[in-house]
Chain A
Amino acid sequence: MSTTLSYDELEKEIIQELKKIRLVSWLLQKETM
């Protein structure tokens, strides 16, 4: 089943998720150094 969502709402949710990237990328960087 596919459902149309609010573009603005999903965009906001994704932006919040992307802000967390820096924490993850730092952990990954430490693991690979």
Chain B
Amino acid sequence: MNGSVIFKYANPTQFMSLSKAMLPWLLVLTVASFGIGLYGGLWVAPPDYQQGETVRIMFVHVPASWMAMAAYSFMALASLVGMVWKHPLADVAAKSAAPIGACFTFLALVTGSLWGKPMWGAWWVWDARLTSMLVLFFLYLGYIAIWQTIEEPIKAGRVAAILAMVGFVNIPIIKFSVDWWNTLHQPASILRADGPAIYISILWPLLVMILSFTLLFSVLLLVAMRSEVIRRRIRSIRMAKIEGFG
């Protein structure tokens, strides 16, 4: 990776002006995408021949699950960049992604459970896919707890980065759990070697909803990162003020 490209946007002031310009456009795109996705998912898509109307839960469950894993992958990558290249915004990005990813994981677990009860007859089973998703939720909580308990940001960033990178091993486990173990959870339906196993009238709203969740993640991440950059500026002004008195 080219170091100069990484550091080009390392300046928090440049990030603040760039994110300020991007946010309104991203917000409009997110709302429009949700509008199309929800229309397709709730009105256009037909009931599934096996699941009936319950298939509509998939339009929120699948995007939430994908974003839960994508947010964690992003967090692990940002942590790696922060550790290796000491990019000043990498820690900010990783820290900001954690609560958003935790919310998506929570939603994936809850909506999965709400789908499981009418389809499997159980709210929860200790299935490999479900259990590894629960582990992901605990990893997010652990990561957030580290930032909350260690006051010094550089030290907190390092400890949290190690957890994020070590915890990344759980992502392929979640993805391939349905292939490696005999699970109640169905195998992959979209990312398959022989193409998606879903009929187009259900697939397109699902893909639009995945795009909507991705756009929402981008918006929320930028907002959270802006807060964190300002928080750090407040901290540095306060430190300078204390040193000035000393």
Interaction A to B:
no
Q: List B residues at the A interface (Cβ < 8 Å).
A: none
Instruction: Point out residues on A near B: beta carbons under 8 Å.
Output: none
